[in-house]
């Protein structure tokens, strides 16, 4: 195939420099061997990299170098799709947002197959299939059969999966749990989070961020809307009508946002200084993703769980 030969013989690092306008850009860490594997058509490839580690470059650069082909990127969240759309547009990569489980999309996929324009399928944030909440993106569970079909179409042996794994620990992020004494404060889902002590603590965290951004997570929509009301900040949750506008403002001038896990993956904002969880996150996987939003520019940042004394332990994740 002409595009495959073109990709295999191209200097992808030079292509990435042209795409980003950064003449000193280099592939680093596992990004380099993972890019090499994609360049030479290895499949399937799994890349495990930290936030800000350059995962998106693994499909953006090949798509940029061969614009006559099509790369399909499946993302699990609206926020992630909006962020991906913005980044591709900034890099002059043509794209069309679609729903991967609609009949029209299946027709589109078949048309790409028969016209030999399908270059690759990428599953972004693929760890969500491990989520034990059965109501979370059930369509992601349908992707298993997609790999078998893709391997048949592309004539690949799926017996071996090539894995590239980078260190994902965050030495620049300080993790801690604050357990305030809520004696005399109601134990309802909203009373304690609006208490004077909790609000003052969060305001101190915002001040500590010194112009950096702060995300306050909670499990219940009512909690994040209550916190947004108290702090006078933006609020983000899955059922919200203006999610794109809220996200755009937070990626711009807004410094503080209260959110559910709908803002937990894939939105790469470099100067997030403080991640605050109101109560225990739903799962350890959720916490790893959400706290991973902090400090991916390498600067000192913090991730804090606020769990009132006597209300249970954050160590008891299911």
Residue 314 lies in a domain: no
Q: Which of 165, 186, 212 is the last residue of a domain?
A: 165
188 shares a domain with 209 = yes
35 shares a domain with 8 = yes
pLDDT of residue 315: 46
Residue 229 lies in a domain: yes
**With 80 as the cut, is the pLDDT of residue 102 above it?**
no
What is the number of alpha carbons within 13 Å of residue 4 lying toward its C-beta? 12
39 shares a domain with 96 = yes
Tokens of 236: 């983000």
Flag the least confident range among 4-8, 121-125, 185-189.
185-189
Q: What is the mean pLDDT of residues 160-170?
A: 80
Residue 316 lies in a domain: no
* Percent share of the chain, pLDDT over 70: 81
115 shares a domain with 203 = no
Q: Which domain holds residue 247?
A: 173-306
Q: What is the mean pLDDT of residues 110-127?
A: 84
Q: Cβ(234)–Cβ(246) under 8 Å? A: yes
Higher pLDDT among residues 292 and 225, named by residue: 225
- Taking the CA atoms of 43, 49, 54 and 56 in sequence, report the sign of the dihedral they define: positive
92 shares a domain with 130 = yes
- Categorize the per-residue pLDDT at 316 as very low, low, confident or very high, splitting at 50, 70 and 90: very low
- Categorize the per-residue pLDDT at 136 as very low, low, confident or very high, splitting at 50, 70 and 90: very low
216 shares a domain with 256 = yes
Give the highest mean pLDDT range of 40-49, 220-229, 238-247: 220-229
CA dihedral 80, 86, 90, 91 (to 10 degrees): 40
Q: Cβ(174)–Cβ(301) under 8 Å? A: yes
Q: Distance between CA 225 and CA 218 in Å, rounded?
A: 10
152 shares a domain with 8 = yes
Q: What is the pLDDT of residues 67-101, one digit of tens each?
A: 888 888 888 766 667 777 777 888 878 767 666 66
- Categorize the per-residue pLDDT at 318 as very low, low, confident or very high, splitting at 50, 70 and 90: very low
Higher pLDDT among residues 107 and 317, named by residue: 107
pTM of the model: 0.69
pLDDT of residue 24: 92
Q: Distance between CA 100 and CA 96 in Å, rounded?
A: 12
Q: Which residue is listed with tokens 């989070």?
A: 193
302 shares a domain with 191 = yes
**With 90 as the cut, is the pLDDT of residue 259 above it?**
yes
Q: Distance between CA 22 and CA 304 in Å, rounded?
A: 35
Q: Which of 140, 165, 190 is the last residue of a domain?
A: 165
145 shares a domain with 32 = yes
The tally of domains found in the chain comes to 2
185 shares a domain with 79 = no
**With 50 as the cut, is the pLDDT of residue 26 above it?**
yes
Q: E strand or H helix at 216, and its extent? A: strand 213-217
Query: 215 φ, ψ to 5°?
Result: -115, 130
CA dihedral 110, 85, 92, 29 (to 10 degrees): -90
The SS3 of residue 78 is: helix
Q: What is the pLDDT of residues 207-238, one digit of tens each?
A: 999 999 999 999 999 999 999 999 999 999 98
CATH of the domain at 145: 3.40.50.300
Flag the least confident range among 1-5, 106-110, 202-206, 228-232.
1-5
Question: In whole angstroms, how large is the CA radius of gyration of the chain?
Answer: 21
pLDDT of residue 107: 84
Q: Which of 165, 200, 217 is the last residue of a domain?
A: 165
**With 90 as the cut, is the pLDDT of residue 183 above it?**
no
Residue 311 lies in a domain: no
Q: Is 8 exposed, middle or buried (0-12, 13-18, 19+ CB in 10 A)?
A: exposed
158 shares a domain with 68 = yes
- Categorize the per-residue pLDDT at 144 as very low, low, confident or very high, splitting at 50, 70 and 90: low
The SS3 of residue 74 is: strand
Q: Cβ(177)–Cβ(317) under 8 Å? A: no
Query: 167 φ, ψ to 5°?
Result: -65, 130
Q: What is the mean pLDDT of residues 243-251?
A: 90
Which of 178, 210, 212 is CA-nearest to residue 197? Answer: 178
B/e letters for 278-291, b = 16+ CB within 10 Å, e = fewer, are bbbbbbebbbebbb
Higher pLDDT among residues 6 and 186, named by residue: 6
Q: Distance between CA 149 and CA 133 in Å, rounded?
A: 27
236 shares a domain with 142 = no
């Amino acid at each position: 195939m002409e595009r495959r030969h073109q990709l295999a013989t191209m200097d992808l690092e030079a292509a990435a420099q042209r795409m980003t306008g950064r003449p000193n850009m280099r592939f680093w860490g596992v990004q380099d061997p993972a890019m090499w594997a994609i360049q030479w058509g290895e499949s399937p490839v799994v890349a495990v990299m930290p936030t800000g580690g350059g995962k998106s470059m693994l499909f953006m650069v090949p798509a940029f170098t061969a614009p006559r082909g099509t790369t399909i990127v499946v993302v699990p969240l609206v926020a992630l799709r909006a962020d991906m759309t913005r980044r591709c547009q900034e890099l002059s990569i043509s794209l069309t947002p679609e729903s991967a489980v609609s009949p029209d999309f299946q027709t589109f996929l078949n048309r790409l197959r028969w016209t030999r324009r399908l270059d690759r399928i990428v599953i972004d944030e693929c760890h969500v299939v491990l989520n034990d909440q059965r109501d979370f993106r059930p369509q992601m569970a349908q992707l298993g059969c997609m790999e078998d079909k893709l391997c048949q179409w592309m004539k690949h042996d799926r017996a071996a999966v090539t894995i590239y794994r980078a260190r994902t620990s965050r030495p620049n992020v300080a993790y801690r749990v604050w357990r305030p004494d809520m004696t005399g404060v109601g134990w309802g889902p909203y009373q304690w989070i609006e208490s004077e002590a909790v609000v003052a603590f969060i305001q101190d965290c915002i001040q500590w961020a010194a112009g950096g951004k702060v995300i306050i997570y909670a499990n219940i929509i009512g909690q994040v809307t209550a916190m947004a009301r108290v702090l006078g900040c933006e609020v983000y949750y899955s059922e919200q009508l203006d999610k794109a506008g809220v996200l755009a403002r937070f990626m711009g001038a807004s410094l503080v946002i209260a959110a559910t896990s709908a803002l937990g993956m894939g939105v790469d904002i470099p100067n997030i200084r403080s991640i605050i969880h109101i109560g225990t996150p739903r799962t350890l996987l959720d916490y790893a993703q959400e706290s991973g939003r902090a400090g991916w520019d390498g600067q000192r940042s913090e991730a804090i769980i606020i769990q009132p004394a006597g209300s249970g332990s954050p160590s008891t994740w299911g």
